[in-house]
Structure 1
Amino acid sequence: MSHNNSIGNYLIQRLLELGVNHVFGVPGDFVLGFNKLLENSDLEFINTCDEQGAGFAADAYARLRGLGVVCVTYCVGGLKIANTTAQCFAEKSPVVVISGSPGINERIKNPLLHHKVKEFDTQYKVFQEITVAATVLDNPDTAQSEIERVLTAALRYKRPVYIEIPRDIVHLELNETGGEKPSTRTDLNNSTASLNIHLNPSIIANSSNPYALKEALEEAVKLINKAERPVILAGVEIHRFKLQDTLLKLVKKTNLPVAETLLGKSVINEMHPNNLGIYE
């Protein structure tokens, strides 16, 4: 049976298209099938000493490249990166957490499988609290749209997401019936990275309202023009959305002074005449 159109290979292909070249993690039996697909792909798997190190490495990679990936096994590996994922959420770092898990057919009659903590979805519930989007790919009919939904959220909100793949699902072929494959084009090393996906209901619901955006911009301009001593407070979002050049253009045009938040440090050159330094 060919696995070229499998759920696992589709996820790998999407990561490659989004500019990811390396995946950090530690293998384990519940994720070995996906690990083998990684081994045979153009993604380079970096086997770290432990899962927490993999999580921090993926975080650093995301901050530098625009999207990072950590791949671990179920519970014994997954729960070890809860802390690194929570850090990504707090500091707006887009990391894709990929975890293997027991097969759907292994869960019948609730057997006592190794590394299971409480229920089969315990790890999923934990990661729902520390990611901006989470999914379990347990249905070939929805796997493609779920992968697109979650990856879109990571890029849109610059926060971590969670994808769990039961080990008997990895090699199943996609069985989408919802129209043509979404198309995402991004250059993660480009300051004008853009995301273009064929709209589906979940993405439409998260799109900016152009009228609300226009109103917000007009209100911001009025407030700045009315202010006696306006100051720009630049946050970490300038880093994550690669808006440094846009900020510099605004500063050059308005001559407004700029203070940086602690996480926003270095969004503007410390020697720039308009830089006030760190505000905390």
Structure 2
Amino acid sequence: MTHDHDLELRPTARQTEAALNPPPGRTGGDLVVETLQGLGATTVFGLPGQHALGMFDALRRSSLSYIGLRVENNAGFAADAYGRITGEVAPLLLSTGPGALMSLAALQEAAAASAPVLAIGSQVPSAGLGGGRHGYLHELRDQQASFRGIVKSVHTARTASQIPSAIADAWRSALTAPHGPVWVEIPQDVLLAETLLPVVTALDATPDDVLPRPELTALAAHLLAGAERPAIIAGGGVVRADASGKLLALAERLNAPVVTTFGGKGAFPWEHPLSLQSWLEDRHTTDFLEDADVLLVVGSGLGELSSNYHTFAPRGRVIQIEADAGKLESNHAGIGIHADARLALSALLETVPERSDESAPERVGTLLAQVRERIEAQDRTLEQRVLAAVREALPDASPSFWDMTILAYWAWSAFDARRPNTMHSAQGAGGLGYGFPAALGAAAADPSRPVLAVSGDGGAMYSIAELATARQYSLPVTWLIVDDGGYGILREYMTDTFGEATGTELARPDFVALAESFGVPAVRTAPETLADDLAKALAEPGPSVVVLPALLRMFAPTHL
């Protein structure tokens, strides 16, 4: 008997001819780029190094676009953003040892934010693997061990014939919910050796669906339909799964108020009558969520920030939809549904009936008024004016990338992202230096629209070298640097805790002159002119820098 898949596996005459007559001069590096092309990649990020040169040489024989950054960590942040914006795998090519290790902070952020980054690193020649005795440059005794606790999966290709399968397996892992970074490593000699293997064509690396169990969605639908005060917490998993439309439909059917976590910004319309916005560091919001008799948590593990620093103690039934099985009920007991957010919300929409509740918008309005009252009592007019200016200047469809800086902490709670998947920050792992290189990755994904990066002066120095990258590739990124002469949030933390700050004050360059030395236009602005200066910079092609000297302060969060 002949099965359908038997027919599919038979090569065509053209495929057979091509397989029997591969072009000469190909290497293991060619197999890497051919595999990436066969899987659908169009853009790769990275930084070359001695052991990885076989991959980089093969790039010139491929159709892949290459974006080379100046520091591996920044290349990882750029790949992270490309993966978030496109929902596609972002290849990241790295060298051995120091080059590989420099990417770890970026891969930690990709893991925390579920960004599908495919890191492919070189290794010392095969003879030196696992020994640490041969004295090769960049040699590590166990390079994989440095990545194993961060990435979703680790893959090795020890021969040329293993390269396509190793990369395809890693690709599938990166795209299976929850998305995340993966690591592939290939020895230098394997990358450099000539190969007579056929050219790699299309590969199948379709990710596995993470389907909800029907008995659990049936129970969840029953509880939500019968709830008196349902509420929803929408996390980053809603954005990653492209499930914002499903969330809106379910919230409206249930008349359930929705709060978005800092990672879930834009998952629910900010001005919707059911929108609790993102004021999670506020006791009024915490009380509101605790009072829900059924709380649906979608795509969030309810970690430190999403739980108001672990002060949140729900009194009702908790239903948690989460693609990362390790996060299910990790902080609060409930009904844990291991599933992709989009698939689980679709299942609920097929079952949950309409639920009328005329009081829900009124309760939402009361809560937001309480939050506004609290913030206005703290005399933070400057901070609110600066954030409003950024919102005024930024086109609705333009993505923004925020470093770990005071203005970003304000934005987590107070910024209207307006569209799903347009506001991103490093709040998953919390490393400095994310904003600008991430914005470069987003601009590489879609250069037709301007991208905004926001940093403090301390964080800006982590990625200042990437001004050269921005100029080299003419990427349309406007970089807003809020210059307060130090690590502003750490200055606040230390002053509040110890009475004075240590190690937080920084000498820094003239950012305007420095940007211009890279050939990047720059302007120094003020709070009164920020909206106009930022809008003008965003409207110009290519990169630009806007420097705002300002001492911003945080609003006081309330935990108790």
> Which TM-score band applies after superposition, normalised by the shorter structure?
0.7 to 0.9
Say if 1:233 and 1:150 are closer, same or farther in 2 by CA, change over 3 A.
Answer: same
Please list, as runs of the form range in 1=range in 2, the aligned pairs for 1:1-280 lying within 5 A after superposition. 2=24, 8-66=29-87, 67-107=89-129, 110-117=133-140, 119=141, 122-156=142-176, 157-170=178-191, 171=193, 173=195, 182-184=203-205, 195=206, 208=210, 213-278=213-278, 279=280, 280=306
Say if 1:54 and 1:182 are closer, same or farther in 2 by CA, change over 3 A.
Answer: closer
Say if 1:215 and 1:92 are closer, same or farther in 2 by CA, change over 3 A.
Answer: same
**Contact 1:132–1:161 (CA<8 Å) still a contact in 2?**
yes
- Greater relative contact order (Cα 8 A, min sep 6): structure 1 or 2? 1
Say if 1:252 and 1:152 are closer, same or farther in 2 by CA, change over 3 A.
Answer: same
Residues in 1 aligned to 2:90 and 2:47: alpha-carbon distance in whole angstroms: 15
- Counterpart amino acid of 1:166? P
What runs of 5+ residues in structure 2 fail to find an aligned partner? 1-22, 281-305, 307-560
**Contact 1:86–1:131 (CA<8 Å) still a contact in 2?**
yes
Partner of 1:27, secondary structure, is coil
Say if 1:245 and 1:18 are closer, same or farther in 2 by CA, change over 3 A.
Answer: farther
Residues in 2 aligned to 1:99 and 1:80: alpha-carbon distance in whole angstroms: 12
Say if 1:153 and 1:113 are closer, same or farther in 2 by CA, change over 3 A.
Answer: same
Once the two structures are TM-superposed, the CA of residue 126 in structure 1 deviates from its matched residue by: 1.0
Say if 1:275 and 1:143 are closer, same or farther in 2 by CA, change over 3 A.
Answer: same
Once the two structures are TM-superposed, the CA of residue 74 in structure 1 deviates from its matched residue by: 0.2
Say if 1:19 and 1:143 are closer, same or farther in 2 by CA, change over 3 A.
Answer: closer
Say if 1:237 and 1:225 are closer, same or farther in 2 by CA, change over 3 A.
Answer: same
Partner of 2:259, secondary structure, is strand
Say if 1:174 and 1:259 are closer, same or farther in 2 by CA, change over 3 A.
Answer: farther
| Over 6 Å off, 4+ runs | none
- Counterpart amino acid of 2:117? V
Once the two structures are TM-superposed, the CA of residue 99 in structure 1 deviates from its matched residue by: 0.7
Please give the TM-score of this superposition, normalised by the length of structure 2: 0.42
Figure out how many residues of one structure are paired with residues of the other and give that number: 252
Once the two structures are TM-superposed, the CA of residue 17 in structure 1 deviates from its matched residue by: 4.8
Residues in 1 aligned to 2:223 and 2:59: alpha-carbon distance in whole angstroms: 51
Query: Radius of gyration: which is bigger?
Result: 2
Once the two structures are TM-superposed, the CA of residue 275 in structure 1 deviates from its matched residue by: 1.2
RMSD of aligned residue pairs (Cα, Å): 2.7
Residues in 2 aligned to 1:70 and 1:243: alpha-carbon distance in whole angstroms: 27
Say if 1:229 and 1:14 are closer, same or farther in 2 by CA, change over 3 A.
Answer: farther
Residues in 2 aligned to 1:108 and 1:248: alpha-carbon distance in whole angstroms: 52
What runs of 5+ residues in structure 1 fail to find an aligned partner? 185-194, 197-205
Please give the TM-score of this superposition, normalised by the length of structure 1: 0.80
Say if 1:34 and 1:238 are closer, same or farther in 2 by CA, change over 3 A.
Answer: same
Once the two structures are TM-superposed, the CA of residue 102 in structure 1 deviates from its matched residue by: 1.3
Q: Give percent identity, aligned residues only.
A: 28
Partner of 1:263, secondary structure, is helix
- Counterpart amino acid of 1:43? L
Once the two structures are TM-superposed, the CA of residue 252 in structure 1 deviates from its matched residue by: 3.2
Residue number in structure 2 paired with 1:190? none
- Counterpart amino acid of 1:79? L
